Amino acid sequence: MSLKWTIEAIELLSNPKVSGQDVKEALVKTGLKDVEVKSVTGPNGKTDFVKVWIPGKEGKRSGGTAPTLGIVGRLGGIGARPERLGLVSDADGGIAAVATAMLLGDMYSKGDILKGDVFISTHICPDAPTQPHDPVPFMGSPIDMAMANKEEITDELDALLSIDTTRGNRVINHRGFAISPTVKEGWILRVSEDLLSLMSYITGKMPMVFPITMQDITPYGNDVYHLNSIMQPCTATSAPVVGVALTSEVPVPGCATGATQAMDIDEAVRFSVEVAKYYGEGKISFYDATEFDRLISLYGHMRHLQTLGKINK
């Protein structure tokens, strides 16, 4: 039952002294073995990156050919202590990633082994800074985006889901979760029909898609507005990336406490697990490879949007 693991992840990460090692121990108890914790110090403090591999029956790491899915729990921090006590709204991406890993670990230990490998990563920081943002304040981060992308993404991925709280805006007016169009190498592509179908199966409702702009798929640090960091992994990989946004009907500050919605996170967890199942089996795709090649032949590559552009020249 995914809700059990969502609640356990919330309880685990609510501890003001929680560390990456604590998360590792909880994941190992579910049956996972390949769990790495790495402490990283950035411009505004320290955080612990947690990276876990769930092996598949025909995963590439064991010599198979099944595609590899990555799931990133993207956030600034799970807490803003001492300014705010308790889990902040921004923690939900990390909670979802940890709960997804717990559920997949429990499935693996009981014999429900996926076909493809799954890589899950997030970072654990209970005392991250806050920062101004319009229309409501954001959570800051002890590290910069380049450091996050370096630690949370690997070249072994064939596709990636980026889960992030996305409530600090006026363009999404739906509580639950929503997905983005697929982004690959600077191209914003059509929304995956396969992922829309899976989302409908999970929620029992019509699928929800959130809007992204060209600004959102460029790297942080170029001094342009970004919806939030949900699409930042697309700047650091050639794999197709889809954002999984935890959303609300009204703008909610990323640093707000008491705003964690367990049922919404649970839906995102179940969606991520189903994507992992079907993607590893080759039954769903994030984008149309033939059409992508056609776009490249007609208009050329857009990889320059994965860089800081002329700001570095």
- List, for residues 18-61, the tens digit of each pLDDT value: 999 999 999 999 999 999 999 998 888 889 999 999 999 999 99
How confident is the model at residue 1, as a pLDDT? 66
What is the predicted pLDDT for the residue at 81?
Answer: 86
Q: What pTM does this model have?
A: 0.94
Query: pLDDT over 70 for what percent of the chain?
Result: 97
Is the Cβ–Cβ distance between 282 and 67 less than 8 Å? Answer: yes
pLDDT at position 288 over 60: yes
Q: What is the pLDDT averaged over residues 75-86?
A: 86
Residue the block writes with tokens 């591999």: 53
What whole-number distance in Å separates Cα of residue 268 and Cα of residue 245?
Answer: 8
Beta bridge partners of 59: 66
Mean pLDDT of all residues belonging to the chain: 93
- 125 vs 31: CA distance, rounded Å: 24
Let me know: does 126 contact 81? Beta carbons within 8 Å.
yes
Whether 312 shows a pLDDT value over 60: the answer reads no
Q: How far apart are CA 11 and CA 57, in angstroms?
A: 31
